[in-house]
Structure 1
Amino acid sequence: MVRSGPRPHRRRLTAALTALGCAVALTGTACTGHDDDGFRPGAADAGDPYVPGRGNGGYDVTHYGLDVRYDPTTDRLTGRATITATATQDLSRFNLDLVGLTVGAVTVADKRAEHRRKDGELVVTPRDGLARGRSFTVRVDYAGVPTSVADGELGSGGFLHTADGAIALGQPDSAATWFPVNDHPSDKASYDIAVTVPDGVSALSNGVPGPQSSADGWTTWRWSERTPMASYLSTLVIGNYRVVTGVHGGRPMVTAVAASLPATGGAASSLARTGEIVDFLASRFGPYPFDSYGGIVVADERIGYALETQSRPVYGPAFFSGDHPNPSVVAHELAHQWFGDSVSLYRWGDIWLNEGFASYAEWLWEEHDGGRTAQRNFESQYASTDWSQPSIEPGRERMFGTAVYKRGALAVHALRRTVGDDTFFRILRTWTSERSAGNATTSDFVALAERVADRPLRPLLDAWLAGGAAPTLP
């Protein structure tokens, strides 16, 4: 993710957090139901202080099948979510994150299940307890007018209604505003998304495009993301867009620009370089990790950021103000396909692993494209950095601050200068290969870098990422 203008572990929860399931049960009373048989509720929170109340325990989602219908004239969305998951404990009930929509029927393993709402939670009690290791399917029918999410750091997010449709987008919150979800990056899953909208309206999402079908004045657009995806990386963009579909490197490429923006201006010309930029980044980071490419430029001024929505980043209009090209932001969001999307976080406190590497990719691209060298960018940023602000565990209010992005990029270049180019790029390619489609921590990265470089690197990275004074230049 990158904001326009100046910008200031694996899926399973720990045993300790799971053990708190009864204590955090939303009833506030002693656990009941199947608990006498050893079954207990899953935790109602992922335990991540950066997103309190988000995520859930007791199960691991493997797939979301989403079938939604949206009417721009009424702002009403109706949906059915079919969720495939595996119980990670003997489970008497479990939670899904869902904000502001009305739930109709819920079934678990094809049997009607009890359900209730509590704040942004959907609490589901299946008819029978779910034994640890059991795969099960949850079906949720829901409807209503989706809501946005207030976030002072980024601006508007969640499900945003527009004059011609809607945009579902945001970090770290957005998914739960339009479908029931285990809304934390530690639980990644594959997706099939079908979106039905009035004829003539585009409905764009993640992954490989499928066949469209039309009936009675409505068109269904289909998308499939088979590589596990963190929930905040899902998107839905509905409205009047110029959609361009092609093939790059044997994979589908889908780009779209809001019809209200110039047809041949800076936004369109920047997206047109997506394949070129991906190929350059692949030469540095290793093979591109997904089955499709693309990008979407929206016209809504409320979106003052770009977000690395998996396989198809979404860009706010301010990045192309004055109708100027901006391939740098495209390089940033495409770099996230490796750093953040394929290799995802366990917890938001390690967000520099996403933003530091994506910011560094901007420097690599600029040098490749005939601009300043990465070294010149490093020197300039080093001189202006506030070393009192850490890249690691920056705090919720500084999740998207300069230390996460630019100090993170400084640490990456310091590593490069210390180990040399051959070892440095071998570290990056090993990281993106060994951790592909999974989750990781800063400690995981340090350990891998030390293994590949065959030397201690923790003191170096600690100084550049979290030290309170300017580190000595390597």
Structure 2
Amino acid sequence: MRSKLLVSAATAATLLLAVPAAAATPNPGATPTPGAPGAGDPYYPSYGDGGYRVTHYDLRLKYQPATDQLEGTATLLATATQDLSSFDLDLALNVSEVLVNGHPAKFTVGDVHKLAVTPQQPLARGSRATVVVRYAGVPSTVSTYGFDAWLRTPDGAVIADEPEAAWWWFPSNDHPTDKATFDISVLVPDGTQVISNGVLTSQSSKLGWTRYEWRQNKPEATYLATLAIGKYDISTGTSPSGIPVLNAYSPDLGDNADSARASVERTGELVDWLAGYFGPYPFDSVGGYVPNVPTHYALETQGRVFYSPAQFAHGANPSVVVHELAHQWYGDSVSLQRWSDIWLNEGFATYAQWLWSEHEGEGTAQQLADYVYSSHPAEDAFWSVKPGDPGADNQFDAAVYDRGALAIQVLRTTIGDEAFFKLLKAWPAEHRYGNGTIAQFQALAEQLSGKQLDGVFQTWLYTPSKPVLPAAGVKAQAAPAEPRSWQQIKSAQQH
């Protein structure tokens, strides 16, 4: 697990940006202080750091599939948000060196994923800094808070998890409010492939090693960065509107191989269909990959969705593809401001599946809402989870998805289709590449509809009991039939 990364002085020099000396001078009269230990999220108070923001990550990695040995040099372009004496990075691997603006910095390992860095000179508020971290380790042996996010495959590894994944492979300010662009360069033995977010800008081989260079030029939350290393069958093309599509499949998916391909190969069709509801697709490429892993979840890794083979164990499942692609607008382009806003991600991705069900004639959004409401009696714990603030332990509870989508259907019937479908496009347009809160979403809904919606949001998102039905909207039925789309919709809720 302990390994020193050897990087030439010339290579290190090319990774550093010149920063004026004055940039490291604190503001007159100010006393530099450490960055806040965390980004301020009540669900995950230790995640991230409050003293700086990252604009870009440049990751140069070397990986050995046979041993799971990962070596890396990460260059972060950061801006201090206060007069900063020290700051934290989130990383669970072993660090051999840290440079700040080209000078060696002191560093200590604190919490299970915290690297405390003290530069030689404090950083002034508003100044830009270049932080270089050299690190190494065997990610599959790293466990934090009792879980592992790095997944080994028969021929390599995959990283895709939520709400945290970055710690296992690069240092970061790990919170969705600090989004950045990415360049990811990975060196692997010849015959091994590397898949990541964005666009493949270069592939070259030398002396038995192949380097893959991926670029994500749109802001991305750290947990949405993904990496898949191994052997894949790759297909490329474009959507009907011209969006580049890249999909990849492990060659050893067994009985799930054909159903996975029959689902994920519809990505181009489905992303264009969703654009009709949510507006223009926000990224430069789209696609998904299906590695040979034993997990049961899918994840909306930005522009390159991760799917578990188990998602397709019962046949083709375009509904889960719709769910993850909907996240490209609701969750990826517009990311949550804090993890309690998870309804803005999962409620709307689930509702996209309801719209797809309606499109396919397998149950209307109203029929699905009726079914969800009637399937859970008042005493069911389902109603005790508040989709608008479910708590960290219930962040991915079924209620966040199903009651969350039910709340959206109630909102739709309250404000009417004209305002509702304007709202679906207005939200990702107004907050494109940024972050948003439920309160901001409510304000936009009120602005577009001309209606006061406190009662709707409070009742359906924040009341820990079964709401009374509004006069118009969901219909009370004793036992409505299960819509044909229901089982496929539920399969997207595995985390």
- Whether TM exceeds 0.5 here: the answer is yes
Whether 1:397 and 2:393 are equivalent positions in the alignment is yes
Residues 149 and 34 (structure 1), Cα distance of their counterparts in 2 relative to 1, 3 Å cut:
farther
Aligned equivalent of 2:365 = 374
Residues 252 and 166 (structure 1), Cα distance of their counterparts in 2 relative to 1, 3 Å cut:
same
Q: Is the 8 A contact 1:356 1:404 kept in 2?
A: yes
Whether 1:424 and 2:420 are equivalent positions in the alignment is yes
Given residue 323 of structure 2, which amino acid in structure 1 is its aligned partner? Answer: H
Aligned equivalent of 2:4 = none
Residue 213 of structure 2 aligns to a residue in which SS?
A: strand
Deviation at 1:371, TM superposition (A): 1.6
Q: Distance in 2 between matches of 1:278 and 1:126?
A: 45
Aligned equivalent of 2:282 = 289
Aligned equivalent of 2:181 = 190
Matches within 5 A, 1:40-439: 40-99=33-92, 101-119=93-111, 120-147=113-140, 148-149=142-143, 157-248=148-239, 249-261=241-253, 265-301=258-294, 303-322=295-314, 324-385=315-376, 386-439=382-435
Residue 293 of structure 1 aligns to a residue in which SS?
A: coil
Q: Distance in 1 between matches of 2:459 and 2:318?
A: 32
Residues 102 and 151 (structure 1), Cα distance of their counterparts in 2 relative to 1, 3 Å cut:
closer
Residue 96 of structure 1 aligns to a residue in which SS?
A: strand
Residues 360-412 of structure 1: per-residue CA shift (max 9 Å, x gap): 00111111123211111111011124322211211111111011111110011
Residues 149 and 254 (structure 1), Cα distance of their counterparts in 2 relative to 1, 3 Å cut:
farther
Q: Distance in 2 between matches of 1:74 and 1:184?
A: 30
> Which of these residues, 466, 469, 474, is aligned with residue 472 of structure 1?
469
Q: Is the 8 A contact 1:299 1:317 kept in 2?
A: yes
CA-based RMSD: 1.8
Which TM-score applies when normalising by structure 2? 0.85
Q: Is the 8 A contact 1:160 1:168 kept in 2?
A: yes
Residues 424-473 of structure 1: per-residue CA shift (max 9 Å, x gap): 01011111100110011110100111011111012112111122232323
Residue 226 of structure 1 aligns to a residue in which SS?
A: strand
Deviation at 1:288, TM superposition (A): 0.7
Gaps of 5+ in 2: 1-25, 377-381, 473-495
Q: Distance in 1 between matches of 2:236 and 2:188?
A: 19
Q: Is the 8 A contact 2:43 2:391 kept in 1?
A: yes
Whether 1:442 and 2:468 are equivalent positions in the alignment is no
Deviation at 1:201, TM superposition (A): 1.1
Gaps of 5+ in 1: 1-32
Residue 384 of structure 2 aligns to a residue in which SS?
A: coil
Deviation at 1:37, TM superposition (A): 5.5
Given residue 455 of structure 1, which amino acid in structure 2 is its aligned partner? Answer: K
Q: Is the 8 A contact 1:308 1:337 kept in 2?
A: yes
Q: Distance in 2 between matches of 1:423 and 1:157?
A: 43
Residues 151 and 363 (structure 1), Cα distance of their counterparts in 2 relative to 1, 3 Å cut:
farther
Q: Distance in 1 between matches of 2:265 and 2:361?
A: 18
Residues 33-79 of structure 1: per-residue CA shift (max 9 Å, x gap): 99995111101212323224211111011110111111011110000
Residue 288 of structure 2 aligns to a residue in which SS?
A: strand
Deviation at 1:163, TM superposition (A): 2.0
Q: Distance in 1 between matches of 2:441 and 2:27?
A: 41
Q: Distance in 1 between matches of 2:31 and 2:144?
A: 40
Q: Which moved more, 1:367-376 or 1:207-216?
A: 367-376
Percent identity between the two aligned chains: 50
> Which of these residues, 451, 454, 458, is aligned with residue 454 of structure 2?
458
Which TM-score applies when normalising by structure 1? 0.89
Given residue 472 of structure 1, which amino acid in structure 2 is its aligned partner? Answer: L
Deviation at 1:157, TM superposition (A): 4.7
Residues 151 and 124 (structure 1), Cα distance of their counterparts in 2 relative to 1, 3 Å cut:
closer
Q: Distance in 2 between matches of 1:250 and 1:104?
A: 45
Deviation at 1:251, TM superposition (A): 3.1
Q: Which moved more, 1:313-322 or 1:462-471?
A: 462-471
Residue 54 of structure 2 aligns to a residue in which SS?
A: strand
Residue 149 of structure 2 aligns to a residue in which SS?
A: strand
Aligned equivalent of 1:28 = none
Aligned equivalent of 1:27 = none
Q: Is the 8 A contact 2:153 2:292 kept in 1?
A: no
Residues 122 and 264 (structure 1), Cα distance of their counterparts in 2 relative to 1, 3 Å cut:
closer
Q: Distance in 2 between matches of 1:471 and 1:254?
A: 46
Aligned equivalent of 1:9 = none
| Alignment coverage as a number of residue pairs | 436
Residue 193 of structure 1 aligns to a residue in which SS?
A: strand
Aligned equivalent of 1:19 = none
Bigger radius of gyration: 2
Deviation at 1:419, TM superposition (A): 1.3
